[in-house]
Amino acid sequence: MGGGRNAGSVRIFVLVHGAWHGGWCWARVRARLTALGHLVFTPTLTGLGERAHLLTPEIDLDTHIEDILAVFRWERVDQAVLCGHSYGGMVVTGVAERIPDRIRSLVYLDAHVPEDGKAMVDYMPEERSRAQLEADARGDTAPLPPIAAARFGVNPADRDWIDAWCTPQPRRTFTTPARLSGAAGWIAKRTYIRAAGYDSPPLDAARARCAAHPGFAIREMACGHDAMVDDPEGLVDLLLEAA
């Protein structure tokens, strides 16, 4: 599509939150980038945050991919830095597969980087993965309750805020497999940012897979999983570097 929005040194950022969160979690990062003159979109995925009233059992990963594709279409976004946090890595990968030519730089922030045919549940700890799959087999359609912020290493001062604002995650978003053709690999500039303050073997594995590709820059932050909350200034610096 033509007519995209981009001008001079002004960069466009599309920041995609992770499970249980909403666009609200990017507030500190958005404020800093906006103050620098950049254009920032922090959409909330269907069924979460201020869109929790739209929660239905039918919402899946493809729904959330379409959410972000709609931002690119209706806001006429072009040559954006697309960043996905945690589960948001599943989403931005699907978006990148569809419109690689509209993405200037792809950033995974302590995020899951899916392989073809694998779903979010495949990257969860074995006990949690097994419990969800067993519940799904019984026909359970209830959304997944939030995990406490302390488990993700969020700094103590912000834990109550995060816990109060997180909402249940649509169950099928964790079991929809990624369907990848490799088109996202056409994006020349890609970055993986690992939060050192959060112990996660699946995310360590994601970083290792990215590091094996010469197109990836690997960065690290000394904070918890919610880096946009714990260290917004440091994250802004890395996003600008990625841009």
At 58, the amino acid letter reads E
* Orientation of helix 232-242 relative to helix 27-35, angle to 10°: 60
CB hemisphere CA count around 163 (13 angstroms): 14
Q: Which of 86, 105, 181, 200 is catalytic?
A: 86
Which stretches does DSSP call E strand in 121-224?
Answer: 190-195, 216-221
Per-residue b/e over 142-177, b at no fewer than 16 CB within 10 Å? ebbebeebeebbbbeebbeebeebbbbbbbbbbbbb
Q: Give every strand in the sheet of 12-16, ordered side by side.
A: 39-41, 12-16, 80-85, 103-109, 190-195, 216-221
* Cα 139 from Cα 112, distance rounded (Å): 26
Q: φ, ψ for residue 186 (rounded to 5)? A: -75, -15
The question of whether 105 is a catalytic residue gets the answer: no
105 strand-pairing partners: 81
Catalytic (active-site) positions: 86
